[in-house]
């Protein structure tokens, strides 16, 4: 698989080109919708990759973590597109996706994620269909929530796999061995977050790997590199000097469906109670 993201030397120029090609309209809209007055461009991706590489090479004791800052996501869908290309994700399935939450004056919440948010979100939330003669209701607020595998510490998908094809690496990454997966889809049922699917090409369970093939070479996951808003932060949580550790130590974070006790390693900043 060749991808402009699949190399160490992604430059600011490459990045801006990618965004210009893919983000466009939703990028502009998103900045209004998310109500961020200043859109921060990411650090130089090459620099970030270099830091990750240094950490990987430093070797032992790496525990990866992922932080999603929902207050920064602009719903451009770059991450979803990058993931699809990087991991050859079949159409109709998603290793990562972006949800749009729209709140209406009467308290109703509408959630949508057309094609997993891959093409961005063109409008400021779906306008509610009203009976004839009544004016359409405009939303009062909204935000985007990127989702991906939570790489849970006590993960039910590994627990239920009958043949041990689902496993966790020492660095805390949950993976599937496609050579031994029998394709029973029990893990798909057991995942509370809808992160897994049965890949129709391989007929085995598939999911976000945090781009394991990249991170083991010291690169960042494709979705992290492609995010123009720094809404996705990935790194070594066992290193107190890493960016992710600093973010985790200075923010209040939450996880999805904490009541299920799966202890996700993917954590969220600014998670609304409506997000399930």
- Which residue of 160, 169, 246, 255 would you call a contact of other proteins, by CB under 8 A? 160
- Please tell me whether residue 182 binds other proteins under the rule CB under 8 A: yes
State yes or no: residue 183 binds other proteins (CB under 8 A): yes
Give Rg (Cα) of the chain: 19
Q: Is 64 helix (H, G, I), strand (E, B) or coil?
A: strand
- For other proteins, give the closer residue by CB, 15 or 97: 97
93 makes contact with other proteins (CB under 8 A):
yes
How many other CB atoms are found less than 10 A from the CB of residue 250? 7
Considering only CA atoms, which of 128, 250, 108 is closest in space to residue 267? 250
Per CB under 8 A, which region of 37-45, 52-60, 133-141, 183-191 contacts other proteins? Answer: 183-191
Beta bridge pairs of residue 65: 235
Note whether 159 binds other proteins by CB under 8 A. Answer: yes
Alpha helix stretches (DSSP H) within 88-237: 156-160, 186-190, 212-215, 222-226
Q: Which of 180, 216, 240, 263 binds other proteins (CB under 8 A)?
A: 180
Which window, 2-10, 13-21, 71-79, 176-184, contacts other proteins (CB under 8 A)? Answer: 176-184
- Within 88-182, residue ranges assigned H as helices are 156-160
Residues 6+ apart with CB under 8 A from 235: 52, 55, 64, 65, 242, 243, 244, 245
Closest CA to 161 of 208, 211, 196, 202: 196
**Shortest CB 77 distance to other proteins, Å:** 12
**Interface pick for other proteins out of 122, 162, 216, 258 (rule CB under 8 A):** 162
Q: Which is nearer to other proteins, 11 or 180 (CB)?
A: 180
Q: Contact between 107 and other proteins (CB under 8 A)?
A: no
Q: Choose between 46 and 185: whose C-beta lies nearer to other proteins.
A: 185
Nearer to other proteins, 28 or 110 (CB): 110
Tell me the CB-side half-sphere exposure of residue 170, using CA atoms within 13 A: 6
* Contact status, residue 73 vs residue 226, Cβ threshold 8 Å: no
Least separation, in Å, of the C-beta of 9 and other proteins?
Answer: 32
Task: Decide whether 145 or 220 has the Cβ nearer to other proteins.
Answer: 145
Tell me the closest approach of the beta carbon of residue 64 to other proteins, in angstroms.
22
Of 136, 142, 107, residue with least CA distance to 32: 142
Would you call 94 helix, strand, or coil by DSSP? coil
Binding mask 115-154 for other proteins (x = CB under 8 A): xx--------------------------------------
If the CB atoms of residues 61 and 162 are measured against other proteins, the closer one turns out to be 162
What would the DSSP string read from start to end of 167-192? Answer: EE-TTS-EEE-TTT-----HHHHH-T
Q: Does 87 bind other proteins (CB under 8 A)?
A: no
Residues lying near other proteins in the complex (CB under 8 A) are found at 92-94, 97, 99, 110-113, 115-116, 156, 158-164, 180-186, 188-198, 200, 202-204, 260, 276
């Amino acid at each position: 698989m060749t991808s402009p993201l699949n190399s160490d030397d992604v430059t600011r120029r490459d990045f801006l080109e990618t965004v210009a090609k893919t983000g466009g309209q939703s990028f502009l809209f998103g900045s209004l919708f998310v109500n961020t007055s200043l859109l921060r461009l990411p650090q130089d991706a090459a620099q970030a990759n270099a830091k990750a590489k240094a950490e990987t090479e430093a070797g032992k004791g790496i525990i990866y973590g992922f932080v999603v800052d929902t207050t920064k996501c602009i719903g451009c869908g770059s991450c979803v597109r990058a993931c699809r290309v990087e991991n050859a994700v079949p159409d109709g399935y998603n290793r990562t996706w972006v949800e749009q939450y729209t709140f209406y004056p009467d308290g109703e919440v509408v959630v949508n994620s057309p094609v997993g948010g891959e093409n961005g979100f063109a409008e400021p939330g779906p306008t509610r269909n009203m009976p004839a003669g009544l004016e359409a209701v405009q939303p009062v607020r909204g935000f985007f929530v990127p989702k991906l595998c939570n790489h849970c510490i006590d993960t039910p998908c590994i627990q239920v796999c009958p043949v041990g094809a689902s496993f966790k690496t020492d660095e805390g990454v949950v993976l599937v061995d496609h050579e031994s997966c029998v394709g029973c889809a029990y893990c798909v049922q057991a995942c509370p977050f809808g992160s897994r699917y049965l890949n129709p090409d391989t007929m085995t369970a598939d999911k976000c790997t945090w781009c394991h093939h990249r991170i083991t070479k010291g690169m960042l996951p494709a979705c992290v590199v492609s995010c123009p808003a720094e809404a996705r932060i990935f790194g070594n949580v066992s290193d107190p000097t890493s960016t992710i550790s600093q973010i985790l130590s200075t923010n209040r974070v939450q996880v999805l469906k904490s009541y299920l006790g799966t202890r996700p390693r993917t954590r969220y900043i600014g998670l609304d109670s409506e997000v399930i």
